[in-house]
Amino acid sequence: MALKTLSAKAAAALDKDLMSTGAFSIDQLMELAGLSVSQVVYRVHPLNKGRRILVAVGPGNNGGDGLVAARHLRHYGYQPSIYYPKRSKKELYQRLAKQLEDLDVPFVDDFPTALQSADHVVDAIFGFSFSGEVREPFPPVIQAMAESKIPVTSVDAPSSWDIEEGPPKSGVGSNFHPDVLVSLTAPKPLVKHFKGRHFIGGRFVTPGITQKYDFDVPAYEGIDQIVEVGPEGLKL
C-alpha cells in the first residue's frame, strides 16, 4: 500500500478549508506545525547530542513554522539561533520574532559561519508552495546544508525540491538530501524521493478533512504530535 499524499494544489485548498469551515486561525496552524517540528527535533536529536540548533527561516509560512519550533526548542533546553534574512513585515511574523528576542535567542547574519558551530539544522526556508528558481540569498544556504555533515531536519519539504518531482535535476538543491523530513498535515508527493527518517505532524485534522482529501491519519501515541512512518506509510 503506497503512502497517500497531498499535491501542492490540494494542500493549499486544505489549508483554506481549515481556516474557513474548519475555524482555525493561521496562528493556530503555525503553532501546531512548529510544535510538531520541535518534537521531531527532540526525537531525532536529543539534548545529549548537542544543544545548538540553527534554524534557517524563509519569508513565508514555512519560515513561521521554523520560528515557532525555535521557541519550543528554547523552552526544551536547546540553544537555537535563527538565520532569517528576508523578514516578513506581517504582524504575525514580527510577533514570532519578538517572542524569540525576549528569550534571548540570537539572530545571525552569516549562515555558513553559524553552521560551523551548530549541532543540528532546521530547514524552514520553503514549503509546499515553492516553485521555480531559488532566489538570493538562499542558494548558498541550501548548498551549505547539502555539503555539511551536520544533520538537517526539513519542514514539510526539503527547500528547493519540487513538491511533485523531488530534488532538482541540476543546480541548487540537486545534491540536497536532508536526514529528516516532517510532513505537516499529510505527506506530499516528493516523499517518494526521500530516503531519510520521515515523520508526520498533523494531530488536529478532522475526519471530514481526511475524507475530502483522501489521506490517512496515522495512530499518534500518548501526547505526541508526531509519528514516524516508513515508505509505505506504516508506523515505525
Residue numbering of the annotated binding site: 61-65, 123, 127-133, 156, 159
Q: Which residue has cell 518531482?
A: 165
Q: What is the DSSP string of the chain?
A: -PPP---HHHHHHHHHHHHTTT---HHHHHHHHHHHHHHHHHHHS-GGG-SEEEEEE-SSHHHHHHHHHHHHHHHHT-EEEEE-SS---SHHHHHHHHHHHHTT--EES-HHHHHHT-SEEEEES--TT--SPPPTTSHHHHHHHHH-SS-EEEESS-TT-BTTTBS-SSSTTTT---SEEEEESS--GGGGG--SEEEEE-TT--HHHHHHHT-PPP---TT-S-EEE-TTS-B-
Instruction: Show Cβ contacts of residue 99 under 8 Å, excluding neighbours closer than 6 positions.
Output: 67, 71
Grid coordinates representing 205 are 485534522
Residues comprising the binding site for K(+)?
62, 123, 159
Residues comprising the binding site for (6S)-NADPHX?
61-65, 127-133, 156
Grid coordinates representing 127 are 514549503
| Pairing of the two strands 197-201 and 227-229 | antiparallel
What is the CB neighbour count within 10 angstroms for residue 206?
13
